[in-house]
Amino acid sequence: MSVVPASIITPIREEFLRLLPARPVTHPLGCHNPRIEDAVVFDRLVLALVSGMGYERVADGACSATTIRRRRDEWIAAGVADHLVLAVLRAYDQMVGLELEDLAADGCITKSPAGGECAGRSPVDRGKQGLKRSQLTDSYGIPVVTVPAGANIRDHALLPQTLDAFAELTQQLGHVPQHPALSLDAGYDYQPVYRNLAERDITPRITKRGTKTPIHTDGRWVVERTNSWMNNFGRLRRNTERRCACTEFFLQLATAIITVRSLIRRAWYTHRWDTRPASPRIR
């Protein structure tokens, strides 16, 4: 049984497999050991993402942990997850519409006990190794850009990198918002942030330091909800990957799942298709 509903994971799996590059066969006699199907390995990676289990725990007689790691590295090198996120966001933008005129961003710290390239001393966990995600969403909460970094890096220091990734993404999507607004909490109330946003022609909505502002008054609550969606994945809640590329791969896979789930929920009221779920309340 799949850990993700079939209505969500089936189109993602089909698109992911379609994006895989053709694999040349160089051995003159083929191979004595048949290659494991890509769909089998993909399902094991989804299980590892959702449950947070190690590769040895999700492996079985049909697919070994070594095969999962090797195939993951092949797909990372080919950039398949990047193309998957772009395809999913483009489909959402065409059917529902990304609301990129009102953005929200925030940082989220999780555990990273294995250390690695994206880990740092966590200021909220007694200096243990932690991971910070700089999350940028549209006004509904669709995770548009997610940048991983060490937990000891301040939120406002990651904002330029996050906005650079957002600008590149909008060019690829062909949906460049004009004069967007960005909602931020008091952790971004610094002059370099205001200057950076002014250079990018982005209207800042930043909570002033020392003031108590309800989270629902300026649109920041959507990014907090998205952080909660991301933390539902065990692999992101407790990151054990040591390479940043592997962490980004699972972040992109989680982004695709969240976006497709939101797409089905919102399109359920306006569209009809053969595999349409009986209810929009899918988990």
Sign of the Cα torsion 160, 164, 166, 167 reads positive
Task: Give the model's pLDDT for residue 148.
Answer: 96
Which domains are delineated in the chain? 98-242 (3.30.420)
Cα gap 271→191, rounded to integer Å = 46
pLDDT for 119 equals 93
**What's the pLDDT score for residue 2?**
72
In Å, how far from its chain's centre is CA 118? Answer: 15
C-alpha 282: how far from its chain's center? Answer: 19
Extract the tokens encoding 216.
């629902």
pTM (2 decimals)?
0.94
Which residue is it, tokens 């946003």?
A: 197
Place of tokens 């650079």: 164
Integer angstrom CA distances of residue 135 from 15, 101, 120, 275: 24, 16, 18, 31
| Other residues' Cβ atoms within 10 Å of the Cβ of residue 232 | 13
Distance CA 234, CA 50 (A): 5
Q: Other CB atoms closer than 10 Å to residue 136's CB: what's the count?
A: 24
Contact 265, 280 (CB under 8 A): yes
Cα–Cα distances in angstroms (integers) from residue 103 to residues 87, 180, 190, in the given order: 20, 7, 18
What is the mean pLDDT for each group of 10 consecutive residues in the chain (283 residues)? 84 96 75 84 96 94 94 96 97 94 96 92 93 96 96 95 96 93 93 95 91 77 95 95 96 97 92 85 76
The pLDDT, as a whole number, for residue 212 is 78
Measured CA angle at 104 (ends 102, 109), to 5 deg: 170
Give the per-residue pLDDT at 283: 67
Beta-bridge partners for 105: 136
